[in-house]
Chain A
């Protein structure tokens, strides 16, 4: 937080991302953006709109439809001293580049005995809710958070959309940035002097004392709404935005639990083997005796995300389901 109050503008998550890209491209000549339709089309989600005109084809590069090839090219460029930003259209497609990400980006520093690091940023859209069906709607950030050697960040606010990219580029190792596609149109206020933010710590988005709601990314706005409705019932929910899924900031999570003793985890991934499961496991390991009630999880139904709108909405976390889980956690055991 800045001590000096700068003027604020009303803008969107998408605009904030573009500001971050523009700043990075302006600040360092080694930075370039590469991906499918990022240039002439302006990005599938219009994030890079206008950047081709502003920075030219050398730095805003359209690629063939081959995730493995262009992510691999990004790794090569990073190895050779560049600071590439690679955009993958959705995380479903990133699976085509998983070999590059896991077997190369995440391992080369280790396998070279520290001689070669990969200062690469891979941006990808994640999440459901736009009726794009099962091949464009999944949430794999939890999978990536499984992998040592990379950092996984999930900007969920305008400040983080604006500020995480530069910090990620400065990280000597690969960083994957998951942008929940439902957030692109998120509108809000942003300080004109907003800039780089840390990518190490979780953030308390709303303080509370009765229970802790742990979430990240696209579920954050829903969780904040649920907290608001809980407040109307005199239940004070603390909302934690994890921000970085690897490494997890358990200090903030456990600090909150020590205060509230109750927890609900909201994670758009599938429940089985999920990030939510990992957080639960760590709470068991590190803070079992703080628990006053079993931890609940609100995750996606264990189905491929459906196309039909009502089914799709029913499959992913919603304000109502978060609210119900929170009430169970608080009431059943009071």
Chain B
């Protein structure tokens, strides 16, 4: 029996609300099939399953907020006979929430929300402090112990309550709006990044005359709908350059770098009304420019409509951000943990450029790299930018 659990759709996700099941018991499912829709702080996500088989049982009803890692459904894998319904397994360490009739996330009582946030590492809070926090309306997760690792005591809660009254904030709205939630998710991820990741930053100006001319020529041959966006050849070049410096492509988990053999390029895409997501374009290094363009267009459409797939949310091995359209010359990114690098590209401008002892006008863009110094050193980062430069000089080979 294959257990289908609530996936983590990003380092900052603790729980998601199951909005819709797209399968029912008895259905055959294929690997990669979208089986459910989960509402996260970053919007609704189409969740895929990575096992083929027959749906045996849906464990969680729609409308429930479910912590990451909790069992959602059971699947009979191919060849497995239909068995008597087993005892509903529980994931160890996750709080069991009664399989009750659907309740909306907004209706979840505080205590339950606290339990959800305590999944990964239960806070050490004295019973009295917990009760006092409830009485004073202090979110226990926001209370700091006097010393690192110490138990949160009444005194800590009292301090937190005092601090709260000193900084008056508007009462929390009954139903937290979606943008605020996304802001919180970004805040959490970026704070963690700046807290935990020792960033180093490199920048280099690259002569992109060749690639720009090539793209111009190429687009002239194409119909309007088939034309490539300027960013597409850069995506390919970044993906290929990352293959040469694998320390920049992967994750930093449990104190060690796990390089990824595939390059799943997380494309930073701004959302309407604010906010940002960076879903993956899978295997960007192995895709043709046409395929990359098609994928990017599809991705942007779905970001705007709020229907991303779970693998796109959880798989990016690196992030690529291009703020060139805004006229920004260089962007020094903040790494999205547990990734170890973010590559930035500024706008393409005509600049004076010295070539063979003479000043010429060239199209130039500033490429930047922010990387995790635990995983790589500046020397390797420099090699990456050099590789990017080299690849961009031969645009016809990027196809």
**Which residues of A approach B to under 8 Å, CB–CB?**
261, 288-293, 332-334
Contacts and interface: CB of A to CB of B under 8 A. Distances in A.
Interface stretch (B30-38, B39-47, B122-130, B278-286): B122-130
Contacts, number: 33
A21 to B, nearest CB: 46
Interface of B: 126-131, 146, 150-151, 153-155
B150 A292 contact: no
12 contacts: A288-B127, A289-B131, A290-B131, A291-B126, A291-B127, A291-B128, A292-B128, A293-B126, A293-B151, A333-B151, A333-B153, A334-B150
Contact of A261 (B128, B146, B151): B128
A292 B127 CA distance: 6
A13 B28 CA distance: 86
A333 to B, nearest CB: 5
A289 B150 contact: no
Q: Which 8 A-B pairs have the closest CB atoms?
A: A289-B131, A292-B128, A292-B126, A333-B151, A289-B127, A292-B154, A261-B128, A291-B127
A289 B128 CA distance: 5
A333 B149 CA distance: 10
Nearest to B126: A292
| Chain A interface helix/strand/loop/mixed | loop
A332 B128 contact: no
Contacts of B130: 289
Contacts of B126: 261, 291-293, 333
A292 B151 CA distance: 9
A290 B153 contact: no
B153 A334 contact: yes
A293 B153 contact: yes
Contacts of B151: 293, 332-333
Contacts of A334: 146, 150, 153, 155
A332 B131 CA distance: 20
Contacts of A292: 126-129, 153-154
Nearest to B131: A289
Contacts of B155: 334
B150 A333 contact: yes
A288 B131 CA distance: 10
B158 to A, nearest CB: 11
Residue among A288, A292, A293 with most chain B CB within 10 A: A292
A294 to B, nearest CB: 9
B128 A290 contact: yes
A276 to B, nearest CB: 19
A225 B293 CA distance: 81
B127 A290 contact: yes
A264 to B, nearest CB: 15
A288 B130 CA distance: 11
A16 B362 CA distance: 108
Contacts of B131: 289-290
A7 B36 CA distance: 86
Contacts of A332: 150-151
Contacts of A261: 126, 128, 154
Residue among B130, B150, B153 with most chain A CB within 10 A: B153
A332 B152 CA distance: 11
B157 to A, nearest CB: 10
A75 to B, nearest CB: 45
Contacts of B128: 261, 289-292
A147 B154 CA distance: 38
Contacts of B153: 292-293, 333-334
A23 B287 CA distance: 104
Residue among A288, A332, A334 with most chain B CB within 10 A: A334
Contacts of A291: 126-128
A130 B150 CA distance: 42
B111 to A, nearest CB: 13
Contacts of A290: 127-128, 131
A261 B126 CA distance: 10
